[in-house]
Amino acid sequence: MKREFVDGVGCADEVQVKQLVGYGLVFFGGGCGASLRHAVNMTCARTLGTAFPYGTFIINITGSIVMGLIAGYLAFKGGASPHWRLFLMTGILGGYTTFSAFSLDTALLYERGAVGLAAFYVLGSVGISIAGLFAGLALVRYLT
């Protein structure tokens, strides 16, 4: 491995430096995505009201559309570096909505012909997640 001097702190392997850059890109992208999510939620609450979770509904749909656009572009055109993928898909979209990653994983399972596994993933993820939320609520109610 090539050794480099990093910011006056000491030597690090080239792989370690790339990993740190990757974490930094995800961190920065996640902050951007979370800020965008907050802006959409606030805008929806002000303009559409709070009787229905319009913000989350719109975020999940738009995040999945953008994930599809990026994944499709990368699959058919390529050319994006791993750092751009980390920043855009894991960072920004991960901070904006994890539903986009869930949608992509489901589509990939389906496209690979694993329809049963895709169905299990969807039903299990949604059902167990909601059950987990209710379990957490029940535990807090019990403890307080």
Is position 47 within any domain?
A: yes
Residue 82 lies in a domain: yes
Residue 125 lies in a domain: no
Residue 4 pLDDT greater than 60, yes or no: no
Whether 80 is in a domain gets the answer yes
Beta bridge partners of 17: none
At 9-44, the pLDDT tens digits run 555 688 888 899 999 999 999 999 999 999 999 999
Q: Which residues constitute the domain of residue 29?
A: 3-98
Domain-located, residue 74:
yes
Domain contains 118: no
pLDDT value at position 12? 64
**Cβ–Cβ contacts within 10 Å for residue 91, how many?**
25
Give the span between the Cα atoms of 2 and 16, in whole angstroms: 11
Residue partners of 43: CB distance under 8 A and separation at least 6: 55
How far is the C-alpha of 55 from the C-alpha of 44, rounded, in Å?
5
Q: What digits encode the pLDDT tens for the residues 47-102?
A: 999 999 999 999 999 999 999 899 888 888 887 888 999 999 999 999 999 888 89
Residue 115 lies in a domain: no
Confidence of residue 138 (pLDDT cuts 50, 70, 90): very high
C-alpha 15/C-alpha 6 separation (Å) is 12
Contacts of 58 (CB under 8 A, 6+ apart): 40, 44
Total tally of structural domains belonging to the chain = 1
144 confidence band (pLDDT: 50, 70, 90) = confident
What is the residue-wise DSSP string for the chain? Answer: --EEEETTTEEEEHHHHHHHHHHHHHHHHHHHHHHHHHHHHHHHHHHH-SSS-HHHHHHHHHHHHHHHHHHHHHHHT----HHHHIIIIIIIHHHH-THHHHHHHHHHHHHTT-HHHHHHHHHHHHHHHHHHHHHHHHHHHHH-
Determine the pLDDT at residue 3. Answer: 52
- Provide the pLDDT for residue 93: 93
Q: Is the pLDDT of residue 7 over 80?
A: no
Say what the pLDDT of residue 9 is: 56
Mean pLDDT score, 95-118: 92
Does the pLDDT of residue 1 top 70, yes or no? no
Asked whether residue 112 is assigned to any structural domain, the reply reads no
pLDDT above 60 (res 115)? yes
